Amino acid sequence: MTDLLEDLTLEPDAPAGDRAVERRARDVAEEAARRHLMIDTLTPQRRDHLDFHDCGVVGLRAALAAAYRQGLADAGRL
C-alpha cells in the first residue's frame, strides 16, 4: 500500500528548494494532525491500531483549515 506522505516525497535529484517545500508540507501536516486530531504521527507504523484513527468532521475540518492557513502564511498571503 502506498503511503500518502511517500507520494508527496520528491525524487532524490529534485532541486533543494523543492525538497524543502515538501519537508515543510510534511511538518505542517504532522502539526495539524497532532493539534487537531490527536494523532501522534503520520508516519505509517504498519499496525492497524496505530495507522487508523477515528476522527470527527469538526477536527478534520480544523486540521485542514490550519494547514491551509499555514500554507498561505508561508506564501506571504496571510
Binned at pLDDT 50, 70 and 90, residue 71 comes out as very high
What integer pLDDT is reported at residue 1 of this predicted model? Answer: 40
d(CA 38, CA 69): 19
pLDDT digits (tens, 9 = 90+) for 1-52: 445 555 555 566 667 778 888 999 999 999 999 999 999 999 999 999 999 9
pLDDT of residue 12: 63
Angle at the Cα of 61 from the Cα atoms of 63 and 78, rounded to 5 degrees: 65
Q: Which residue has the cell 500554507?
A: 71
Structural domain boundaries in the chain:
4-74
State mean pLDDT over 46-73. 95
Region class of 38: left (phi > 0), else alpha (psi between -120 and 50), else beta: left
pLDDT at position 5 is 52
